[in-house]
């Protein structure tokens, strides 16, 4: 058998240093083919499926599920000749019987030829004497049975004098209830005291009035928490990368956040009409779609908001992006991730709706690739799905603005000079104050709000 080939953990993303083994799809002894998926790993950005570069039989898995391994470390060995995996040695006969559940001569239920079966007691407390089996008496040589020995004379039986047993003392009835007299029970009920929590000091453990009053004045015992009082969750994978990125962003870019309440009644009416069109028959239409379109239009009107800060050898620069890779923050079981709709500015409204739906579903299923999660230019976070009105979002590293979209609520609103109940939401825009000053940030936020108040403006400004 030749030396097995070793597959080392590759760098599936630019700058990847480590990954966690999430799930193995093969085990030692399995036959694998080239490009067959053998393992799922979680990087700092996404869960990635790794194909096998060899064909043969798996000889060893070097890393267990749940462990983190550095890039370049061995994770699996494969016998490229495809020889069958060695058959495990069969255990010795007693061990084999123990594994298969067959009793051995030293175990109950198994009798060896040299060991006669041992009789077991039938009833608890009534043992069986050893060698208590009776044999039929042998006959004498003349054909007659030997005479039995004469029985010993029986001892005279002396009867003890009759003694009258004492009368039994009356015992309290054990019906599961605390022992207390009716007046005491009424007193405890009126005072809201649970008799089951009181230890009686009266006769036979009965509860008295004094016991009830003492329980009423005693401080309440703290509730006992079931299970462990603390839980430690390892910070790794997406959550580790998110924590590092958010910390760097919060303490690198000077954040400013502005807020704007908007009447989105017409937007909700537009969403309802879009759902009835055949172009949107196979896709979910939500208010987020029009929020995304409004932000794309605002970026086209104010390109500087779609830029990044770059420190170079010749000094700092502002890099203005003429394309929009729109990030949509998505909460998943592995943590917060932000997949990007690449070149979102080139999509029509049905195409944008499909891209948002597919990318969000892919991210929540853990199938987003590192390419899906990189190279963003501006982001939307929909905090309204959590029942939140607003927030102060932190910038995604490398971006200069992020828009938070709050929940839509029925609120009193002055509409056409009269008080009416309207659909209202709150928008908040956080931006990097090194790039976006207050005037530009306010203009972008005002443009988005104006288009959501009157969606016709999207057509006029596009």
Residue 54: which of 82, 17, 19, 94 has the closest Cα?
82
| 300: phi then psi, degrees, rounded to nearest 5 | -65, -30
Cα separation, 415 vs 199, in Å, equals 68
Which tokens is 271 given?
A: 């969403």
Report the DSSP beta bridge partners of residue 411: 422
Which tokens is 67 given?
A: 């462990």
DSSP 261-323: EEE-HHHHHHHHHHHTSGGGTTS---HHHHHHHHHHHHHHH-GGGSEEEEEETTEEEEEE-SS
| 24: phi then psi, degrees, rounded to nearest 5 | -90, 135
**Catalytic position from the list 25, 62, 255, 433:** 433
Report the DSSP beta bridge partners of residue 272: none
Residue 320 · residue 440 · CB < 8 Å: no
Contacts of 83 (CB under 8 A, 6+ apart): 1, 56, 57
Cα separation, 273 vs 437, in Å, equals 37
Strand locations in 98-230 (E): none
Contacts of 37 (CB under 8 A, 6+ apart): 25, 49, 50, 51, 52
Strand locations in 86-217 (E): none
Q: How far is CA 125 from CA 120, 128, 398, in A?
A: 12, 10, 82
Cα separation, 18 vs 23, in Å, equals 16
Cα separation, 409 vs 422, in Å, equals 8
What 3-state class would DSSP assign to 107? coil
Residue 254: which of 7, 49, 437, 55 has the closest Cα?
437
Which tokens is 62 given?
A: 């070097």
Contacts 24+ apart (CB under 8 A), 196-205: 204/172, 204/179, 205/179
**Residue at token pair 């969750």:** 233
> What's 172's DSSP letter?
-
- Whether 433 is catalytic is yes
Q: Hey, which residues are catalytic here?
A: 433
């Amino acid at each position: 058998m030749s030396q097995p080939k070793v597959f080392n953990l590759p760098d599936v993303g630019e700058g990847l240093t480590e990954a966690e083994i999430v799930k193995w799809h093969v085990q030692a002894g399995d036959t694998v083919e080239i490009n067959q998926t053998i393992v799922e790993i979680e990087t700092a950005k996404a869960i990635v499926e790794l194909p096998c570069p060899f064909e043969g039989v798996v000889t060893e898995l070097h890393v267990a599920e749940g462990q983190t391994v550095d890039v370049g470390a061995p994770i699996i060995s494969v016998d490229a000749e495809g020889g069958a995996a060695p058959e495990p040695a069969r255990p010795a006969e007693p061990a084999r019987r123990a594994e298969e559940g067959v009793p051995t001569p030293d175990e109950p239920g198994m009798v060896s030829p040299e060991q006669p079966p041992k009789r077991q007691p039938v009833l608890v407390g009534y043992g069986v004497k050893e060698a208590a089996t009776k044999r039929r008496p042998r006959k004498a040589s003349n054909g007659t049975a030997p005479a039995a020995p004469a029985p010993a004379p029986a001892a005279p039986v002396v009867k003890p004098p009759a003694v009258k047993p004492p009368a039994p003392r009356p015992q309290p009835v054990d019906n599961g209830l605390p022992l207390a007299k009716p007046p005491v029970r009424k007193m405890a009920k009126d005072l809201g005291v649970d008799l089951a929590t009181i230890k009686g000091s009266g006769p036979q453990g009965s509860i008295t009035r004094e016991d009830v009053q003492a329980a009423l004045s005693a401080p309440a015992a703290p509730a006992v928490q079931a299970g462990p009082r603390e839980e430690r969750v390892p910070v790794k994978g997406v959550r580790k990368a998110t924590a590092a990125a958010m910390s760097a962003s919060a303490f690198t870019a000077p954040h400013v956040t502005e807020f704007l309440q908007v009447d989105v009644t017409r937007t909700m009416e537009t969403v309802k009409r879009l759902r009835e069109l055949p172009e949107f028959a196979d896709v979910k239409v939500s208010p987020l779609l029009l929020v995304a379109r409004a932000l794309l239009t605002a970026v086209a009107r104010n390109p500087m908001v779609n830029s990044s800060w770059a420190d170079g050898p010749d000094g700092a620069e502002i890099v203005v992006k003429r394309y929009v890779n729109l990030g949509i923050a998505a909460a998943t079981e592995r943590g917060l991730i932000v997949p990007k709709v690449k070149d979102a500015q080139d999509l029509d409204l049905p195409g944008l709706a499909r891209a948002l739906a597919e990318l969000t579903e892919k991210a929540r299923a853990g199938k987003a690739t590192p390419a899906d999660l990189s190279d963003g230019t501006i982001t939307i976070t929909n905090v309204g799905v959590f029942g939140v009105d607003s927030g102060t979002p932190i910038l995604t590293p490398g971006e200069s603005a992020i828009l938070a979209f709050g929940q839509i609520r029925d609120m009193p609103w002055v509409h056409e000079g009269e008080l009416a109940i309207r659909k209202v939401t709150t928008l908040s825009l956080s931006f990097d104050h090194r790039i976006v000053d207050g005037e530009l940030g306010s203009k972008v936020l005002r443009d988005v709000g104006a288009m959501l108040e009157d969606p016709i403006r999207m057509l006029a400004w596009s």
